[in-house]
Chain A
Amino acid sequence: QKEVEQNSGPLSVPEGAIASLNCTYSDRVSQSFFWYRQYSGKSPELIMSIYSNGDKEDGRFTAQLNKASQYVSLLIRDSQPSDSATYLCAVEGGSYIPTFGRGTSLIVHP
C-alpha cells in the first residue's frame, strides 16, 4: 500500500522565519510530487509541484525532492500569518491517482 507520511504538527514559527515542512513516501516509482495548502474549512489549492531531484523555487516557496531518500520538503521563507494553514503532500506514481498525506498544520505567529 502506498503511504505518504507527514508530521501532523502543529508547526509553530514566528513571523519572518523559515518554515520547513517534510514528507516521506513509500512507493519508489513515484514520479510527481505536489504540495497543497488548505485553509480551515476550505478546499486544497496547489502551491508547488516538483518532478525531478533538487530544488524548485517559486517566490517565497521552495520545494526540495530527494528520490533516493524518498522525501520531499517545502520551505516557506519570510513566513507570514496568512501562511497559517494545513499543508498536504501528495505523491503520484504514473497511475494518475495521487496519494495524499494527512497534512501538517502550520501556525505563523506575529
Chain B
Amino acid sequence: DADVTQTPRNRITKTGKRIMLECSQTKGHDRMYWYRQDPGLGLQLIYYSFDVKDINKGEISDGYSVSRQAQAKFSLSLESAIPNQTALYFCATSDIADQETQYFGPGTRLLVL
C-alpha cells in the first residue's frame, strides 16, 4: 500500500463550488505539506503543518484553507473554486529523522470550469 494517499485522484468542479482534497499517510511523519503544480512553474507551497496543532501559510495560500485532523490526515479546501485553481495538487510528508526528504502522494488533478 502507498505510504501517502490522496483522494480524489481526479476532480472536475464548477466555479464557485467548495471542494476538499484529502491526504492520508502511514509513514508516521509529523510534517505535512500541500503543493500545487502548474505546467512550467514547478511546485508552489500552499500550506504546511509541522504537527496537529500547527498550521502555516505557504507562498500561495489565498483561496485555500486546510485542516489537520490527525497526525496522519491533512485536508485542503477550496472555499469557492475559480478556474485559475485548475492544477495538479500534491500532498507531501517529511521527517527530521529522514533528513527532510519529501515523500509525495500521487497527486490530484483538479479542473475548475
Known: A42-B107, A43-B90, A43-B107. A96 touches B43 (CB 8 A): no
Majority secondary structure of chain A interface residues (helix, strand, loop or mixed): loop
Residues in B with CB closer than 8 Å to A101 are: 42
Residues in B with CB closer than 8 Å to A100 are: 42-43
Binds B, one of A44-52, A61-69, A71-79: A44-52
Question: Is there contact, CB below 8 Å, between A98 and B42?
Answer: no
Residues in A with CB closer than 8 Å to B104 are: 43-45
Q: From the candidates A44, A90, A96, A102, name the one contacting B31 in the complex (CB within 8 A).
A: A96
Residues in B with CB closer than 8 Å to A44 are: 43, 90, 102, 104
CA distance A44 to B35 in the complex (A): 12
Question: Is there contact, CB below 8 Å, between A98 and B40?
Answer: no
Known: A88-B42, A102-B42. A97 touches B102 (CB 8 A): no
Binds A, one of B14-22, B60-68, B93-101: B93-101
Q: How many residues of A contact B (CB 8 A)?
A: 22
Within 8 A of B (CB), among A2-45: 8, 32, 34, 36, 41-45
Answer whether residue B41 sits at the interface, using C-beta atoms and an 8 A cutoff: yes
Question: Is there contact, CB below 8 Å, between A43 and B105?
Answer: yes
Answer whether residue A83 sits at the interface, using C-beta atoms and an 8 A cutoff: no
CA distance A50 to B99 in the complex (A): 10
A to B CB contacts below 8 Å, 12 in the list: A34-B101, A34-B102, A41-B107, A46-B102, A49-B99, A49-B101, A92-B100, A96-B31, A96-B100, A97-B58, A98-B102, A102-B41
The 7 closest A-B pairs by CB, nearest first: A102-B42, A43-B104, A100-B43, A100-B42, A46-B101, A43-B107, A44-B104
Residues of A participating in the B interface, judged by any CB pair closer than 8 Å: 8, 32, 34, 36, 41-46, 49, 51, 88, 90, 92, 96-98, 100-103
Residues of B participating in the A interface, judged by any CB pair closer than 8 Å: 31, 40-43, 45, 48, 50, 58, 88, 90, 94, 96, 99-102, 104-107
Given contacts A46-B101, A102-B40, 8 further A-B contacts (CB under 8 A): A34-B102, A36-B102, A44-B90, A44-B102, A46-B102, A51-B99, A97-B45, A100-B42
